[in-house]
Amino acid sequence: MIILGIETSCDETAAACVRDGGAVLSSVVHTQIAQHSPYGGVVPEIASRAHVEALPFIVETALREAGVDWSALDAVAVTRGPGLVSSLMIGMAFGQALALRLNRPLIPTHHLEAHLYALRLDATGEDAPPPEVTLLVSGGHTLLVHAEAWGRYRTLGRSLDDAAGEALDKGAKLMGLGYPGGPAIEQAAAGGNPAAFAFPRGRPAGQAEGPDFPFSFSGLKTALLYRLKASPEDARPPRLADLAASYQEAVVDVLAARLDEAANAVNARSVGCVGGVARNKRLRDRLETDAKRAGRRLTLAPPRYCTDNAAMVAGAAWLRRDEALPPDSPMEPLPRWPLKNHGSNPGGSIVTA
């Protein structure tokens, strides 16, 4: 079964063809970084307009690179949420029109389940279960997901304020580095001493209603702000590398520690990491070290499937192929779609956050 995936939830316009949820035949990603970087963050109006302009070419390229004809597609998958509402609408309208024209079913997918599914891509023929606990770290989300099986999830932890990627993006802005901030900080941190500056490893005050393993990154960003107010020269060479390395280390440290605690709490033998921030080499190395020490199996999403892409969308759609809709079904975007109960199959997903 070949599924065409379309992803437009934020600032990447992406299309991919994936066979049977594992073999990536093509994955084309057009990033809008250049359009948004003058503003230091994603501008929703610019993003949706750029999706309109790029989508036809990106989708055609995905088919050409996969070497498949339109008629070989079995279904069209689109990201229904969570994400920027106007950007989601563009991808959904495009996918729906295409499905209608080709007379193929339409599969709405959940962006966070798609990020999780990145762990299974390129694993052709292997029907491995998901890691028991996965750290999902992107620009918009920081989640610890306890998975019983593909499609059955429970949230063990999440950020109560900024997402990890957001903390890196805001920190980079304060340091005068580029957008997106994660890769900019990683680059600036090269050769720097991660212990040069002391940044808080914030643990939010316990909340009766909150998740078991909460994250908080707003204090870290504020600490950087005050540091730079008192000593602006820290954001310039030769001290910048130390500053960036120390800031990055604070984020990595908190993420790795919380994953370890959550895995201990549920006696997990396997852990994973996905999402844009999972591209970070320092984080990947730290998770490897921790997993080895704890004797756990670690699965990291391949770097090219960490940041937003459509291969993970087409993959997650294969998981949800029983929930395919007729192409003319009315369907609104779900910009704040929680991971729980996202399928039309009520027993499917049991996330509680």
Q: Which residues contact ligand KG4 by CB under 6 A?
A: 10, 138-140, 165, 168-169, 180-183, 186, 275-277, 279-280, 307-308
Nearer to Zn ion, 141 or 221 (CB): 141
Smallest gap from residue 179 Cβ to ligand KG4 (A): 8
Strand residue runs (E) in 111-211? 133-137, 142-149, 152-158
Smallest gap from residue 18 Cβ to ligand KG4 (A): 18
Nearer to Zn ion, 50 or 224 (CB): 50
List residues near Zn ion by CB under 5 A: 138, 308
Smallest gap from residue 115 Cβ to Zn ion (A): 6
Phi, psi of 170 (to 5 degrees): -70, -40
Q: Which of 285, 287, 255 is nearest to 270 (CA)?
A: 287
Nearer to ligand KG4, 157 or 182 (CB): 182
Nearer to Zn ion, 113 or 308 (CB): 308
Smallest gap from residue 138 Cβ to Zn ion (A): 4
Q: Which does 183 bind (CB under 5 to 8 A by kind): Zn ion, ligand KG4, none?
A: ligand KG4
Q: Which does 219 bind (CB under 5 to 8 A by kind): ligand KG4, Zn ion, none?
A: none
Smallest gap from residue 346 Cβ to ligand KG4 (A): 26
3-state secondary structure of 188: helix
3-state secondary structure of 353: coil
Nearer to ligand KG4, 132 or 169 (CB): 169
Q: Which does 224 bind (CB under 5 to 8 A by kind): Zn ion, ligand KG4, none?
A: none
Nearer to Zn ion, 111 or 284 (CB): 111
Q: Which does 279 bind (CB under 5 to 8 A by kind): ligand KG4, Zn ion, none?
A: ligand KG4
Q: Which does 214 bind (CB under 5 to 8 A by kind): Zn ion, ligand KG4, none?
A: none
Q: 3-state SS string over 27-95?
A: EEEEECHHHHHHHCCCCHHHHHHHHHHHHHHHHHHHHHHHCCCHHHCCEEEEEEECCCHHHHHHHHHHH
Q: Are strands 133-137 and 270-274 parallel, antiparallel or unpaired?
A: parallel
* Token code pair at residue 194: 């991660």
Q: Cβ distance 153 to 136 under 8 Å?
A: no
Smallest gap from residue 303 Cβ to ligand KG4 (A): 8
Q: Which does 319 bind (CB under 5 to 8 A by kind): ligand KG4, Zn ion, none?
A: none
Burial state string for 39-65 with b = 16 or more CB within 10 A and e = fewer than 16: ebebbeeebbbbbeebbeebbeebbee
**What is the separation of C-alpha 129 from the centre of its chain, rounded to a whole number of angstroms?**
19
Nearer to ligand KG4, 181 or 333 (CB): 181
List, as one string, the DSSP characters of 228-276. HHH-GGGGSTTTHHHHHHHHHHHHHHHHHHHHHHHHHHTT-SEEEEESG
Smallest gap from residue 165 Cβ to ligand KG4 (A): 2
* Token code pair at residue 238: 């030769």
Smallest gap from residue 224 Cβ to ligand KG4 (A): 15
3-state secondary structure of 344: coil
Q: Which does 194 bind (CB under 5 to 8 A by kind): Zn ion, ligand KG4, none?
A: none
**Looking at residue 159, what DSSP letter applies?**
B
Nearer to ligand KG4, 173 or 201 (CB): 173
Q: Which does 280 bind (CB under 5 to 8 A by kind): ligand KG4, Zn ion, none?
A: ligand KG4
